[in-house]
């Protein structure tokens, strides 16, 4: 199974190199005050969450699945390797975002750093939710069809949120009713979101893994 994880990262090495270059540029612009920390951390959390699509597309292009089925590795372990690739990627992004928050703290103060960490927790948690939903769909329908299904559902949720917020006054109403981002309540909120992100990994990704295993076992390669 370790070999399968290494295979994924070897396939992603060109993409990850491009991400690393963009990351350096974005972090530099964030520290310089051109972009907000929340934008940078959110962007890279979303990019990390989308990497499984790239892995599946590369597998399809290389016709990997028939070859992988001939290897002495069970289908459950093949699925587990893909989920572990995702967790390793999200963990690496979390470390990079923590380093970004420290840099922002040194340059812009504690409040900006807390805002960065808050955005990181939210976006990484959403990345886990995203993949818990989309990975079984990919195993069932393939990467391209699953992408279309997910985007349709995602846009539907955004539409429902808009329909809920507009009668109340939109985003301004939401911002007015949020508690002020001070050191005390921000730290508590970040801790709560961090625990929620870990809970999401256990409560959603684990059932998602077993669903993916059940789908992949029945799939004809």
* 204: confidence class by pLDDT, cuts 50, 70, 90: confident
Q: What does the alpha-carbon distance between residue 3 and residue 126 come to, in Å, rounded to a whole number?
A: 28
Q: What is the pLDDT of residues 68-97, one digit of tens each?
A: 778 888 889 999 999 998 888 888 887 877
In 3D space, the residue among 146, 136, 149, 124 whose CA is nearest the CA of residue 200 turns out to be 124
In the chain, the number of structural domains is 1
Average pLDDT over residues 111-138: 77
More confident residue, 206 or 165: 206
Confidence at residue 179, expressed as pLDDT on a 0 to 100 scale: 54
Q: Rounded to 5 degrees, what are φ and ψ at 35?
A: -120, 155
Confidence at residue 215, expressed as pLDDT on a 0 to 100 scale: 92
Confidence at residue 166, expressed as pLDDT on a 0 to 100 scale: 57
Ramachandran category for residue 109: left, alpha or beta (phi over 0 → left; psi -120 to 50 → alpha)? left
134 contacts: CB under 8 Å, gap ≥ 6: 52, 53, 146, 147, 150
Average pLDDT over residues 131-140: 86
Asked if pLDDT for residue 31 goes beyond 60, the answer is yes
In 3D space, the residue among 109, 90, 82, 110 whose CA is nearest the CA of residue 48 turns out to be 90
With b meaning 16 or more CB within 10 Å and e meaning fewer, what string describes 2-20? eebbebbeebbeeebeebe
In 3D space, the residue among 214, 52, 16 whose CA is nearest the CA of residue 128 turns out to be 52
Instruction: Identify whether the C-beta of residue 135 lies closer than 8 Å to the C-beta of residue 208.
Output: yes
The DSSP letter of residue 180 is P
Q: How many CA atoms lie within 13 A of 168 on its CB side?
A: 13
Instruction: Identify whether the C-beta of residue 85 lies closer than 8 Å to the C-beta of residue 8.
Output: yes
Q: Which residue has the tokens 């051109």?
A: 34
Domain that holds residue 54: 2-218
Average pLDDT over residues 150-155: 72
Give the Å distances, CA to CA, from 87 to 4, 18, 92, 97, 205: 14, 20, 9, 15, 10
């Amino acid at each position: 199974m370790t070999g399968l994880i290494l295979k994924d990262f070897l396939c992603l090495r060109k993409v990850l190199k491009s991400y690393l270059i963009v990351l350096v540029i974005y972090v530099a612009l964030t520290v310089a005050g051109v972009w907000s920390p929340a934008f940078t951390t959110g962007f890279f959390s979303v990019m990390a969450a989308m990497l499984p699509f790239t892995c599946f597309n590369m597998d399809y292009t290389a016709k990997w699945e028939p070859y992988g089925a001939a290897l002495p590795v069970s289908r459950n372990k093949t699925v587990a390797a893909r989920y572990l690739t995702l967790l390793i990627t999200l963990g690496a992004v979390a470390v990079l975002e923590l380093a970004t928050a420290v840099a922002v703290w040194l340059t812009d103060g504690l409040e900006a750093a807390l805002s960065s960490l808050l955005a990181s927790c939210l976006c990484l948690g959403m990345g886990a939710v995203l993949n818990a939903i989309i990975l079984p769909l990919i195993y069932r329908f393939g990467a391209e069809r699953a992408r279309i299904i997910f985007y349709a559902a995602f846009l539907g949720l955004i539409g429902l949120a808009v329909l809920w917020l507009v009668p109340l006054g939109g985003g301004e109403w939401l911002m007015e009713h949020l508690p002020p981002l001070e050191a005390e309540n921000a730290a508590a909120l970040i801790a709560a979101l961090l625990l929620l992100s870990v809970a999401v990994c256990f409560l959603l990704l684990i059932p998602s893994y077993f669903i993916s295993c059940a789908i992949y076992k029945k799939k004809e390669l």
